[in-house]
Structures are given as C-alpha cells and as structure tokens.
Structure 1
C-alpha cells in the first residue's frame, strides 16, 4: 500500500492525543473512511464533530474479544493502526501486587494480539497494512515504567512475528517507536516532547513509504543511533537472520 486514497482505516485509542492526530492525518492522506475506536464511544464526539462524517465512531475495548470481533465485522479495513495502550509507572520489586502489571500486559500485548487476530483475514484479502504504535521503551528500558517497557517489548516481537506470517500476502507491518509525546500519558515527564501530529504523520507516512520500523521524533532517533544494525535486521527479518545463524551454528562457524 503506497497511499490511502479511497482506503479505509481503523484506529484504536482514537479519542484523544496521538489517536486523534492519527485520525486527522489518515483523512489528510486521502482515506475515504476512518473507523475511530475507543472504549467509551461518547468520548469520540469531539473527534467526529471536528473532522466530519468520514469518521465513524466504534466502541472498541481491545481486551474484549466480543467487541473486537464486532468491530472487525465491518469487513472493509485496509489499514489497521493499533494505538490503544496504557502505562504503569511502578517499580517491579517494590509494588504491593502485580495487578497493574497484568493490566498493562493485557491491554498493550494481548489487546494488540486480539486486534491482529480479528482483522487479519480482511487485511490479507485486501493486501492492506498494519501499523503498531509502540515506544522506544520497547528497545530501551523505561526507568520509571519497567513493566510498560516489558509490554512494549513483547508487542514488538508480536509485530515481528505477524510481519513474517503475512509477508507472503503482500501485507506491510510497520512498528513505530516514538519517544516522549506531548499527551496526557507523558504529562508528568520533563523535557522536550514531540507533538502528536508529528508522530502521527511520520508513523503513517513511514508505513506508506514501506518502512518496517519508524523512529518518529528526535529522542527516538537518538535511541536508534544506539541500536546496532544487526539488531535492526532481527526486528524486520528475524526468520532470515535466525536461519542464517542456525546454518552457521550447524556448520560449526563462529565457535
């Protein structure tokens, strides 16, 4: 997919912040319809009012398989953008219990998995695409939110797996790894933050350009510079890399 002209997009967590900007950018890039998903459908009213009737509100809690299946029943989604997520700013060993950690993994990892499984058939049939909005915390530990990092790292591997499964179907899978964004989630963090619009544009445009990993802001780019090129190969073509390493191992090379 090289453009969104006359295409249909579904975006989760679309009611505010980065999600609302993703809706706006998708429309600006020519989408004929954007399904805007949120747990509380009433929270989408401002987005619909400001962006017009090409935006269709959808009640969608990604942790609810019934809601995810109902959303997928539309059947005409070309680009799926998984943006819904939560953070968890607790130290792992000091926390009184692990319920917040479980919830973080349930939303960020299993919720994304539910979404991908529900929409995979139509994305394949339409030779569409997938964008997973993750975080640089997937590859660089968040000091204040280690469980959030763990959930994003797990989802990064999920994205790599799905990319391999759908490669033969001409489906592009892009992971976007932003740093700090000027949204409610990062309100307590100090320092320069990227605008939601910038991250939305670079995430969607990167996917349309065929990028498999997008580093959409200045802090993310600094992290990318610390990531070895071989690590990037593991992210985007894990099967090829591991097959090569397995063959070298079997041949006794590199011992």
Structure 2
C-alpha cells in the first residue's frame, strides 16, 4: 500500500505540491492525472525517495520513505518517464550488475536476468547495448530491473509516453496482472483513454493540489449526468478549461 500523507514541496518560490494526500491500496490501480507541471512527477519522485518532501511523508506498506528509506524502497518498483542507463553495457550484463545490489550474483543473477528480460519482451535484445535501445525498450528494461525483488508496489511516471500501440498494450496488461496479484499500482499518464481502460480510481492534480479523487464508476456517472462523454472532457471541466 502506498500512502501519501500531506506532502508539500517547493522549488524556490514555486509551490510544486501543496498538502497532497491519497492512498493506493493493495490490488488497486490508480491513475494520476494533471497537466504538465501540475506536480505528478514531483509526487512520484518523493514517493520513491529521490526527492525529500518539505512537509509530510510517504509510507510504503507502513515504512516511511523519510525515516526508513531503505525498507520503504525495497518495497517499490519504479519506472521514471525517461529511464537512463550506462549506454555501453549490454542489457543482460547491466541487469546482473544491478542484481548484485540486491544480493543476487553469478549464475543466479544471469538466470533471473534471462527470465525477466524474456518476460518484458526483450529476450531477443538482451545482448544488445543499452545505447541502442529505443525509448520503449528502455522502459521495458527499467521494468525488468524493478521486478528483481518482486516488490508489492509499483509507481510508473508517464510510462505510456512515446510507446507504440504494442508497448501501450503490454503495459496495460501488466498493470492488470499486478492488480490481480494484489499489488498497488500508481501511474501518471496523459493518455486518458488508457487511464479509463486501466484504472480503478483516478486522482486529479492541478497546480500542485489534489482537486478530485474518484473511482472510474463515479466519474462515468458524473460525466454522463453532466453531458461529458470522456474522461478528458470531465478533466477539463474540473480545471475550468473549455475544449
């Protein structure tokens, strides 16, 4: 379970997050929706321990990302919007290198690497250098790394951006598999049709503040009664933008 509790963050005079709170429960997929600069990436980077909050905290299965970062981080799988790796490493070699930080080494690490790279669709590219990977391949590789210790919580930052339809379908099915297996999944996305297809709940953020937190069923009922045919129209109404 991911619990974001009264998190605030400023960069200079800019208030990026203002008292942000919401939960992602086990076996639930939550979409995180907002315009560019609304605070989605900042929220996720705080939740995985890359950025410290100015105020508030994030708990991962009860472990504070501020006070008990190691234990909290062990329970998180994270895919950033733009994954970066050492370009001259072959994928399998880099996987083995990272697995070593999790205490998995030698033949066991290579066996796990082959297994997970096959799982994410990179079986034919595991001996390619990472510098030759496309954006979609880098995201799949980041997923393989996040699966090393089979964490119960996943955070995906704009994971669908830059993917072809096959890549989008892959991550859609993966999120639903995680849900079936009782994992908590938070993903931010601009592709609102896919948010509708994947999410159980949607949290809307605007100018650093949460403006709505509703199930897909609630959104559909409200959108229908308000004459809106899509999640996109519903969102723009929330923030007062005409389309």
Q: Is the structural similarity TM-score above 0.5?
A: no
Tell me which protein shows more helix as a share of its residues. Answer: 1
Tell me which protein shows more strand as a share of its residues. Answer: 2
Q: Which has the higher contact order (CA 8 A, sep 6+)?
A: 2
TM-score by length of 2: 0.36
